[in-house]
C-alpha cells in the first residue's frame, strides 16, 4: 500500500540532502539561495496541478506597484501572460491578477528574520488585482468574505531554523486584514506553523486565516506533508483566474490608440464626453454649473457626494456604479 506520508517524508530527506550538496558546491550566498529555491520549485512542480506555473521574480500590478523579490511564484499558467522573462537568470515579472501564491524560501530562518518576512509579504499584499476582463461567474468564500478570485496566498519555507515563530508572526500580523496575513510556514527540520481554530475542545486546522484561527506551531513528524496539503488546498481552489486585461498595464498607449482609431484625440474625446454629459443633465433642468462638476467627477472616477446623487435623481437620472470605481449616468427612456 502506497502511503502519501511516507512518500513526502522521503522527499523531505532528499531536500535536506540537496541542501547539503548546495553548501558543498558554492560559498556564494546568492547562488546557494537560488539553488535552494530551485529545489523547492521542482518539488512543487511535481505535486501541484499542471495548470499552475512556477517561477521566481517580481509581481506587479497595473498601477505600477512592484513586489520585492519573490522566491517562488505560483500562477495560473493558462491565463497569465508573463510581462518580462529573463531566460538566463530564470526570473520573470508576473501580473498580480494571475498570481495564486508566493513562497519565501529561507535556507536558515531566525527570529531576526521575522520582521523582514512580514515586510516581504506586505510588498505582495499591497498590490491591486483589478485588471480583469469580464465579470466573475462565481465567488469563493474565504477570510470571512466572498471573492471572485482568492487573494494571493503567502507562505514561508525554511530548510532549517532556530525555532518556530507562530507567536511572533501572530503579533506582527494582528493588525493586518485576514487575507493579508502569512498563510503558513514550513520549518523542514522542526515542524510547521498553520492556522488553527482554537475555539473548540481541540485545535482544528484550517487552510487560511479566520477570525477564530491564528498561526499555531506544530512539531514533527511530517511537517512537509502538513505544509504541502495546506498549500495545495488553497492554490487548487484559487488556481483558475479570469483573463487579464493587459490594456490596463499600458493605459496611456491605449488611450492614444483609441483616439487614433476613432479619428479623435483623447483630449477632444474627453471634451465631447463632458459636453454630452452636461447637455444631458442641463436638458433635464439641472443647474449648468452642477451638471459640469458632476460630469467631470464621473469621468475622473471620483466619488460623488450624497447631494450630487440627489441632484441627479431630482431630474430623473440615476448614477450606477460599475467596476473599478467607474460609474455611468442612466436616463430613463423617454427623458
What is the C-alpha separation between 80 and 128, in angstroms, rounded?
16
What is the C-alpha separation between 237 and 277, in angstroms, rounded?
44
pTM of the model: 0.76
Give tens-digit pLDDT for 185-219: 999 999 999 999 988 777 888 989 989 899 999 99
In the prediction, which pLDDT does 260 show?
Answer: 47
What is the C-alpha separation between 84 and 17, in angstroms, rounded?
33
Minimum mean pLDDT range among 10-24, 131-145, 212-226: 131-145
Give tens-digit pLDDT for 152-192: 999 999 999 999 999 999 999 999 999 999 999 999 999 99
In the prediction, which pLDDT does 304 show?
Answer: 58
Domain range summary for the chain, segments of one domain joined by +? 4-247, 250-330
The three-state DSSP-derived secondary structure of the chain is: CCCHHHHHHHHHHHHHHHHHHHHHHCCCHHHHHHHHHHHHHHHHHCCCCCCEEEEEEEEECCCCCECCCEEEEEEECCCCCCCEEECCCCEEEEEHHHEEEEEEEEEEECHHHHHHHHHHHHHHHCCCCCCECCCCCCCEEECCEEECCCCCEEEEEEEEECCCCHHHHHHHHCCCCHHHCEEEEEECCCEEEEEEECCCCCCEECCCCECCEEEEEECCCCHHHHHHHHHHHHHHHCCCCCCECHHHHCHHHHHHHHHHHCCCCHHHHHHHHHHHHHHHHHHCCCCHHHHHHHHHHHHCCCCCCHHHHHHHHHCCCEEEECHHHCEEEECCCCC
- The reply to whether omega before 221 is within 30° of 0 (cis) is yes
Amino acid at each position: 500500500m502506497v502511503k502519501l506520508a511516507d512518500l513526502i517524508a522521503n522527499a523531505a530527506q532528499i531536500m535536506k540532502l540537496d541542501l547539503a550538496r548546495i553548501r558543498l558546491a558554492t560559498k556564494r550566498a546568492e547562488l546557494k539561495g537560488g539553488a535552494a529555491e530551485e529545489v523547492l520549485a521542482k518539488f512543487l512542480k511535481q505535486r501541484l496541478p499542471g495548470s499552475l506555473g512556477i517561477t521566481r521574480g517580481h509581481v506587479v500590478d497595473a498601477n505600477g506597484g512592484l513586489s520585492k523579490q519573490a522566491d517562488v511564484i505560483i500562477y495560473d499558467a493558462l491565463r497569465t501572460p508573463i510581462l518580462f522573462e529573463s531566460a538566463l537568470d530564470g526570473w520573470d515579472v508576473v501580473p498580480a491578477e494571475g498570481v495564486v501564491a508566493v513562497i519565501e524560501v529561507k535556507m536558515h530562518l531566525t527570529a531576526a528574520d521575522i520582521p523582514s518576512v512580514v515586510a516581504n509579504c506586505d510588498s505582495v499584499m499591497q498590490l491591486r488585482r483589478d485588471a480583469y476582463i469580464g465579470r466573475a461567474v462565481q465567488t469563493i468564500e474565504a477570510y470571512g468574505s466572498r471573492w471572485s478570485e482568492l487573494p494571493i496566498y503567502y507562505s514561508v519555507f525554511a530548510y532549517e531554523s532556530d525555532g518556530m515563530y507562530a507567536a511572533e508572526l501572530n503579533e506582527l500580523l494582528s493588525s493586518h486584514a485576514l487575507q493579508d496575513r502569512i498563510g503558513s510556514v514550513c520549518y523542514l527540520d522542526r515542524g510547521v506553523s498553520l492556522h488553527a481554530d482554537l475555539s473548540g475542545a481541540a485545535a482544528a486546522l484550517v487552510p487560511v486565516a479566520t477570525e477564530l484561527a491564528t498561526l499555531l506551531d506544530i512539531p514533527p513528524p511530517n511537517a512537509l506533508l502538513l505544509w504541502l496539503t495546506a498549500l495545495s488546498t488553497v492554490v487548487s481552489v484559487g488556481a483558475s483566474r479570469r483573463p487579464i486585461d493587459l490594456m490596463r498595464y499600458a493605459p496611456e498607449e491605449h488611450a492614444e490608440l483609441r483616439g487614433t482609431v476613432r479619428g479623435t484625440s483623447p483630449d477632444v474625446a474627453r471634451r465631447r464626453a463632458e459636453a454630452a454629459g452636461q447637455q444631458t443633465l442641463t436638458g433635464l433642468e439641472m443647474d449648468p454649473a452642477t451638471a459640469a462638476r458632476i460630469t467631470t467627477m464621473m469621468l475622473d472616477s471620483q466619488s460623488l457626494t450624497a447631494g450630487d446623487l440627489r441632484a441627479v435623481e431630482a431630474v430623473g437620472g440615476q448614477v450606477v456604479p460599475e467596476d473599478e470605481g467607474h460609474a455611468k449616468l442612466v436616463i430613463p427612456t423617454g427623458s
